[in-house]
A = this chain, B = another copy of it.
Amino acid sequence: MNEMPHILVVDDHREIRAAVTRYLEKNGMRATAAQDAAEMDAKLATGHFDLIVLDVMMPGEDGLSVCRRLSGEGGTPILMLTALGQDTDRIVGLEIGADDYLPKPFNPRELLARIKAILRRAGRSEPLAGRLAGKKVRFAQWVLDSDRRVLIDGTGQETALTGADFKLLTVLLERARLVLSRDQLMDLTAGRRAPPLDRTIDNQISRLRRKIEQDPMQPRLIVTVRNGGYSLAADVEVTDG
C-alpha cells in the first residue's frame, strides 16, 4: 500500500469521532469524520474512502440501515461499532454486509488492527485514480506511463492505448497474478454488470493482447483461465514518475 488509506468515521458522539480520527491519523492513515448518515453521504459523494467505521446507534438513519444500503452497492468495506452485548445487532450486521464489528467500548489498538486486517484483505477498493495515478509501472518488457496512458518498450518505442485498453490493463496490473472473472473485470473496468453471454471482455482482451503481447497467438502476459477468467502473469513494479 503506497498510499495512506482514507477512513471515514461515522459516529454521533463528538468525543468518539475526535478520538478515533486522531488515533488513526497518528498511525499512518487519513481520517475524516461525519456525525450522521446524511453527512456521511455528502462525504462519500465527494471523495474516495477505503473503509467506513460506522456506529450502529445513531439519530436519523441508523447504522444497520446504512450498512444494508451501502453493501448493496458492493463498494467500500464497513466496520461497525456496536453497543456492548448487542449480540443480535452484530450478527445481523455481518449478515447484512458489514465486514467486521467491534463492541464498544473498544481498545483503539484493536480498532487499528481490525482496520488493517480488512484493508489487507480487501486490497481492491481503489478506483484507478488511486494507486497507479501518476506512476510508472514496469512489467515484463514494458513500462506503462499512466499519466500519458502510453506503453514504452525497452527501445523507447511507444504504443498508444485507448481508454478501454488502459483501464483494463490497469485493473490487471493492480491485481497481478490473480485470476479475475469476466464479471469482475466488467465490474472493475466499466462499473456495470455483464449480461450472460456477453463477450465484451473477451474482445477487449483480444485487442489489448494485440498491443502488448509479443506473439498474440500465444499470449504470455495475459493468460486465459478456462472457466475462470484472465490473469496477468508478470511481476509488476511501481515507481514514481
Contact = CB atoms under 8 A, between A and B. Distances in A.
Contact of A234 (B114, B129, B147, B234): B147
A6 interface: no
A223 B128 contact: yes
A15 interface: no
A203 interface: no
Given A100-B100, A181-B124, A233 B114 contact: no
A178 B127 contact: yes
B235 A241 contact: yes
A117 B126 CA distance: 18
A215 to B, nearest CB: 10
A113 to B, nearest CB: 4
Contact of A117 (B99, B150, B181, B218): B99
B134 A177 contact: yes
B110 A91 contact: yes
A100 B110 CA distance: 11
Interface string A69-113: 000000001000000000100110011011110000001011001
19 contacts: A91-B110, A91-B113, A94-B114, A94-B116, A95-B113, A123-B184, A124-B181, A127-B179, A128-B177, A128-B225, A128-B233, A133-B177, A134-B177, A134-B235, A147-B233, A149-B233, A150-B220, A163-B224, A164-B226
Given A94-B114, A147-B234, 6 more contacts: A125-B178, A126-B178, A127-B179, A128-B178, A129-B177, A134-B177
Interface of A: 77, 87, 90-91, 94-95, 97-100, 107, 109-110, 113-114, 116-118, 120-129, 133-134, 147-150, 160, 162-164, 175, 177-181, 184, 218, 220, 223-226, 231, 233-235, 241
